[in-house]
Amino acid sequence: MDRRTFLGAASAALLVDAMAPAASFATQAAAALKPMDVGLLIVPHDAPEATFKRVRDMGFDNCFLSLDGYLNGFTKQVADQFGELLSKYSLVATTVEVVGPAPLVWDFMQGPSTIGLVPPKTRAARIDALRQVSDFAKLLNISQVQTHCGFIPEDPADPLYPGAVEAIRAVAQHCRSNGQHFLMETGQETPTTMSRMIRDVAMPNLAVGLDTANLILYGKANPVDAVDILGPHVRSIHAKDGKWPTDPSKLGEEVLIGQGLVDFKQVFAKLHKLGYTGAVTIERETSGPQQIEDVKNEKLYLEKILGEVLA
């Protein structure tokens, strides 16, 4: 399964008449979100209204938008539609993300040459895609753009490293011009390597999207320890659980939150101590009715832990 097909509604989209984006609502609502409010990652491409409605029906008030399905289609009409739907269902979109265009192979064998801004062959196209989604997010007053930057070389003398630095800087500069932070999602690199990239890019709006499970799935770090290195830079969280990779060709297994190796209470406690107040976004990589059931259970699990941490 494509690692970005989450919570997309199965029915056809119920299109709405275009109107001015609900930017003022988004700004006011974002300010009103509770610290570490639990949200949901969604893919609204196939059926936007049904997808946003489902988020509200499941009890969430914020969402993270995975938007690869809109590459080369980030129009004002789509922004107007999203703005109306966010307003209609009283939802806040906290962050947007694209990881494409293809090819993308989520494993250890082809991943280094296909994922992120590191591979030279797809670098220009992905910089363009991220600039597009940044401009789209600006129409909705969404202040964070996120992506996987790829298998950033641990050796700063690696020939691929300087190009990756410049690519990340170029996207961060564009996001800054739109009043946004650009977030590198954890996963393919060690926390130390990501920290070095933040230093070397030297842009004040470059930050981290902490995916709690990816650090384990890629065999890079324990997320509790990673917060010691990256915590001050974290501006979004993907709450996800998993197990270490045991096959050297394949990523570890993503599992239901609470059944993997992530110590969420420790992660949240450390981030809370550092002053993190952003969303905690559930990302469950299953599909169909089981995904909905899993997300409901994960929401209860996380809210219980956060209640203890924030008490």
Residue 11 lies in a domain: no
Residue 15 lies in a domain: no
pLDDT digits (tens, 9 = 90+) for 77-91: 999 999 999 999 999
pLDDT attached to residue 23: 44
pLDDT digits (tens, 9 = 90+) for 11-21: 333 222 323 33
Residue 12 lies in a domain: no
* 30 confidence band (pLDDT: 50, 70, 90): low
Residue 257 lies in a domain: yes
pLDDT attached to residue 25: 42
User: Over the chain, what is the mean pLDDT?
Assistant: 92
Question: Is residue 144 exposed (0-12), middle (13-18) or buried (19+ Cβ within 10 Å)?
Answer: buried
Nearest 5°: CA angle at 226, between 222 and 227?
A: 125
Residue 217 lies in a domain: yes
Residue 154 lies in a domain: yes
Give the residue with greater pLDDT, 13 vs 272. 272
* 28 confidence band (pLDDT: 50, 70, 90): very low
Q: Are 279 and 37 in contact (CB under 8 A)?
A: yes
Q: What secondary structure does DSSP assign to 36-56, as a single string?
A: T-EEEEE--SS-HHHHHHHHH
Tell me the pTM.
0.92
Element (H, E) at 212: none
* 8 confidence band (pLDDT: 50, 70, 90): low
**CA quadruple 218, 204, 36, 55: dihedral, nearest 10:** -80
Domain that holds residue 61: 23-310
Separation of alpha carbons 49 and 88, rounded Å: 10
Task: Using the predicted structure, report yes or no on whether residue 119 has a pLDDT greater than 70.
Answer: yes
pLDDT attached to residue 286: 87
Question: 26-35, 124-133, 136-145: which range is least confident on average?
Answer: 26-35
Separation of alpha carbons 44 and 52, rounded Å: 7
Amino acid at 179: G
pLDDT attached to residue 96: 98
User: What CATH number does the domain containing 67 carry?
Assistant: 3.20.20.150
* 6 confidence band (pLDDT: 50, 70, 90): low
Separation of alpha carbons 242 and 294, rounded Å: 14
* 244 confidence band (pLDDT: 50, 70, 90): very high
Mean local confidence (pLDDT), 220-244: 98
pLDDT digits (tens, 9 = 90+) for 92-114: 999 999 999 999 999 999 999 99
Residue 17 lies in a domain: no
* 10 confidence band (pLDDT: 50, 70, 90): very low
pLDDT attached to residue 13: 31
Mean local confidence (pLDDT), 51-63: 98
Q: What percent of the chain has pLDDT over 90?
A: 89
Mean local confidence (pLDDT), 122-149: 98
pLDDT attached to residue 20: 36
pLDDT attached to residue 12: 30
Nearest to 170, CA basis, from 232, 137, 125: 125
Domain count, the chain: 1
Task: Using the predicted structure, report yes or no on whether residue 300 has a pLDDT greater than 50.
Answer: yes
Residue 216 lies in a domain: yes
pLDDT attached to residue 296: 97
pLDDT attached to residue 32: 74
